[in-house]
A and B are shown apart, each in its own frame.
Chain A
């Protein structure tokens, strides 16, 4: 019975593997082979580094002290897609009557909000109730709809508690926020 082509390829590979130590016994051959591999990997590393440099995110300017366009939120679902991170009570120096009447009627507006120069884009919501007008800074929850067949990956929410508790040893995020301008 004749061998299959795949068997011949395996036999050839075996033979080449058997020859390899003999081939590498010559120092020059071994050195050139290693150098060639190093060159190839060096090129790959350089390319990867180039890619890293290219994808540096653009710094976004702070929104404080500049006029921002308020976009009316169509549904309150948009608000519930976020969690509140900060709340400011606003005391208006001047308030457009149209905006005020809309706020008093229950409208919620979305405003781009960045207290400092940075990479992150998080919204703020402008809203009012019987107690006053508030600017609510928020972060996206990013939850997905789930069906009958789904899997739950174990995720840790300790980062959220540490961020809200202001743990002095978890200072990396604070550092980023405080030094983004520098």
Chain B
């Protein structure tokens, strides 16, 4: 997968398209059996469409009869399929009658915090905005590092890196500027450079902040993305 790119402006009115490097995947433990042999994860079939609750209810007519059948026997278990390894799976959308849909119209369903549907609308395609056609603008909004840490939940981070010496000068200068001010710079979309960043098509809009550090002639410039502010959740109705 190619690395992401972002078009950035700095405090000197210069701009460049630079590379975003994601954080490394943290190491995970591997599981082994008592003899040291590696174990693998497998998806097993639990039940089939003929043995799910709705199918059994329609077969037995009412919940009382279904409960009696469950006590007397094992109609919920498909002896041929249950416990078998499923292998590679594809997601299939099915209707209320359990039959697969061969063509479907996607609809965006909006729900409230309790999960109740409040709106239904045509989905809108939202493009990513990391590489705008027009030159980006330096927002000029700096937020002290300590304040940012206490105000936002930074759920994603990318290291901003150069691919040539001109970009190196640009990013080193930017990192040095931010370090001297012990602050993060708001990086965003829209004419003022304060709008949300959308990393991928239909991705969640996030607030972007640049944080810079230097060590001699090396630098560490990070794009921190905040999905939300640290606030108390609103009380329910």
Contacts A145-B218, A173-B28 given; indicate if A80 touches B23 (C-beta within 8 A): no
Check A142–B41 contact: CB distance below 8 A. Answer: no
Interface class of chain A by DSSP: mixed
Instruction: Assess whether A3 is interfacial by the CB under 8 Å rule.
Output: no
Interface positions, chain A 114-129, Cβ under 8 Å from B, are 119-120, 125, 127-129
Instruction: Assess whether B116 is interfacial by the CB under 8 Å rule.
Output: no
Check B157–A89 contact: CB distance below 8 A. Answer: no
Instruction: Assess whether B155 is interfacial by the CB under 8 Å rule.
Output: yes
Instruction: Tell me which residues across on chain B come within 8 A of A176, comparing CB atoms.
Output: 28-29, 31
Interface class of chain B by DSSP: mixed
A53 to B36 CA separation, bound complex (whole angstroms): 6
Instruction: Assess whether A111 is interfacial by the CB under 8 Å rule.
Output: no
Check A150–B230 contact: CB distance below 8 A. Answer: no
Interface size on B, residues (CB 8 A): 53
Instruction: Assess whether B151 is interfacial by the CB under 8 Å rule.
Output: yes
Check A84–B29 contact: CB distance below 8 A. Answer: no
Check A154–B232 contact: CB distance below 8 A. Answer: no
Instruction: Assess whether A27 is interfacial by the CB under 8 Å rule.
Output: no
- Complex: chain B residue closest to A59, CB-CB: B29
Cβ contacts A63-80/B at 8 Å (1 or 0 each): 000000000000011011
A134 to B58 CA separation, bound complex (whole angstroms): 49
Contacts A83-B156, A132-B232, A145-B220 given; indicate if A152 touches B36 (C-beta within 8 A): no
Check B145–A80 contact: CB distance below 8 A. Answer: yes
Instruction: Assess whether A96 is interfacial by the CB under 8 Å rule.
Output: no
A129 to B150 CA separation, bound complex (whole angstroms): 6
Minimum distance in angstroms from A54 CB to a CB of chain B: 10
**When A and B form their complex, which 3 residue pairs have the shortest distance between CB atoms, in order from nearest?**
A157-B22, A145-B218, A119-B29
B residues neighboring A (CB under 8 Å): 1-4, 19, 21-26, 28-29, 31-32, 36, 41, 43, 89, 91, 145-146, 148-151, 153-159, 161-163, 165, 168, 200, 211, 213-215, 217-220, 222, 224, 230-233
A residues neighboring B (CB under 8 Å): 49, 52-53, 56-57, 76-77, 79-80, 83-85, 87, 89, 106, 108, 119-120, 125, 127-129, 131-132, 134, 136, 139-148, 150, 152, 154-161, 164, 169, 171-173, 175-176
Given contacts A146-B220, A169-B89, 9 further A-B contacts (CB under 8 A): A77-B213, A83-B155, A84-B154, A108-B150, A132-B230, A141-B222, A142-B24, A148-B165, A173-B28
